Structure 1
């Protein structure tokens, strides 16, 4: 099995989680890392035994020995950093949100096709066994139609106007950072809604500190979704169906426990993850690369388009605009 030599671009908290989980993935290694600080690159690289540590993103993109690059920079940089890597012929796994809007996503996809390289949005939940279990359970039909989905992702982040979550210049706010998870869940499990309504609390730095969304389907199904960086909740996802319920325990986007209730019988399911959960998407992407695939059959371009279009619609309704420089 060919070992995939990974480059990691942007070395913050999520990059550490990604690199740590890679340690248990057979046939994948952290080969090179890049930060705008040589000191930070050297420190991160030493932790994960990287061969090359760069003080610029372009140097990483040009490394001829790198097979794939994971982009973990702030949201507003995803578009430009992805284009840089694609233009140098590198396969790219870009952290969610794929970009800031649909226009940027379309340019990324077009560039990947132009250079004939693999590109995928890194929405790790899609590849986790507990997510697939819920998807498969609903698909059996034994629960009957889904009447409502209620899902939220909320935590209390200390106010820091310069920090990533509150800084509008960095793409801050709850929607793009964590509200994307409830929206993703509804789209993945229920499909594209007939109507979307949303409201938000915009804070003093101009970002959405709290957002509520309602997706309504032609069947009558409704998804009530929320995100917040001001309050903490268990962050559950609950499907109420005609014949029972499925509860993805908090935090639903990563927790390896699901409770099902069918015809009055309650069962707890524990998937016992050996790591945080990034290893599932790393394995999937690596397998695609070895098979010379250019698009994931699971996290497809069309799904990423639908997801970012949904977020664009929500942002329009809540009046959240970003001053994009690229």
Structure 2
């Protein structure tokens, strides 16, 4: 059986009422900033009004490419926006987020929002003190496929989900990629494993015990890690790497059936649900705009509601995710030079 519906983007774009646009600014002008800018054109009532980056030439090129304005300073950017997307490397996420909170600007921060639970707590506390919205940009749960799967499992469940398996390893990143730089918060766990940590936390709750096997690369970052995790509601097996080719699917096992989210599971468009007795359901939900537009649209709606947290990617969810990464880094002996003692 094949189940298809109009995509979430098509439903939203066909029914929205025009409102005052939310003015977005971007700090950082690299690849992920470009993906955000491309996706923003698919978000109703939102506009990109500016960018700032440490390299003026890069910011100006970004502004030309995406028809926006390159501001001469980060403070100037903050003065002219409603919401900030942080698209820099994770070693600077905290710095830019705290600056934005001091100006009472809402912040959507690229994952991982912080390099540690300690740092994340300081950010969430500062956002609450400033009474502004702060959300980690964790894209999978906002894709049409994930939303459709959530609906389907509520109507036609696979029983109690007790096991999650997911992973991704990328073998073709260039040698100079920031993921290999310890001083910038590199490594597979923070750059890739945070996605898998989300899936485990989403379906199994808080991690109770994290057992990690892995290896460090020549630069001191974790180049591969495999985690067995005991959660409140089950067991997860996740992996992440920078030296093997392992772009794959995700698997959820329940008492009455199972789900396979086909590759690439973090940009999901297809899932297969198998039930005890042999019944199979196929879900197909293509996405538009590159995918970052869905989390951005959600953020805009939360912002308009006046809430300080997303009901889907709450501060607590982000904390449970980074707790897993912290535990794995500790077991592997990965510590960044900029982290406080």
Unaligned runs of 5+ in 2: 1-18
Matched, 1:156 2:171: yes
Q: Aligned-pair distance for 1:288?
A: 1.8
Tell me the equivalent position of 2:7.
Answer: none
2:307 corresponds to: 293
Partner Cα separation in structure 2 for residue 279 and residue 11 of structure 1: 17
Q: 1:91 aligns with which of 84, 97, 106?
A: 106
* TM-score, with length taken from structure 1: 0.93
Task: Select which of 121, 127, 130 maps to 1:115.
Answer: 130
**Cα distance, 1:278 vs structure 2:** 0.9
Is 1:73 the counterpart of 2:88? The answer is yes
Counterpart of 2:285 in structure 1 is 271
SS at match of 2:126: helix
Change (3 A) 1:46 1:184: same
**Contact residue 203 and residue 209 of structure 1 kept, 8 A:** yes
C-alpha distance in 1 between matches for 2:76 and 2:89 = 19
Equivalent of residue 43 in structure 1, options 61, 66, 71: 61
Alpha-carbon deviations, 1:69-110, whole Å to 9, x = none? 000100111111111111122111111111111121111112
Structure 2: distance between partners of 1:37 and 1:56? 11
Counterpart of 1:183 in structure 2 is 197
The separation in 2 between residues aligned to 1:245 and 1:301, in whole angstroms, is 29
How many corresponding residue pairs?
Answer: 321
Cα distance between partner residues in 1 of 2:306 and 2:159:
39
TM-superposed CA distance for 1:155, in Å, is 1.4
> Is residue 218 of structure 2 the alignment partner of residue 204 of structure 1?
yes
Matched, 1:242 2:255: yes
Q: Hey, what does 1:324 align to over in structure 2?
A: 338
Q: Tell which deviates more after alignment, 1-10 or 144-153.
A: 144-153
What residue number does 1:225 align with?
238
Determine whether 1:28 maps to 2:43.
no
Partners in 1 of 2:174 and 2:297 — Cα distance?
A: 36
Shift in CA distance, 26/218, structure 1 to aligned 2, threshold 3 Å: closer
Match of 2:186 in 1: 172
Gaps of 5+ in 1: none
How far did 1:3 drift? 0.2
Alignment partner, residue 257 of structure 1: 270
How far apart are the structure 2 equivalents of 1:134 and 1:192?
Answer: 22
Q: What's the TM-score, normalizing by structure 2?
A: 0.89
Offset at residue 307 of structure 1 (A)? 1.4
Aligned partners of 1:198 and 1:213 also within 8 Å: yes
User: Among residues 29, 36, 48, which one is paired with 1:11 in the alignment?
Assistant: 29
Shift of 1:296: 1.3
Secondary structure at the counterpart of residue 313 of structure 2? coil
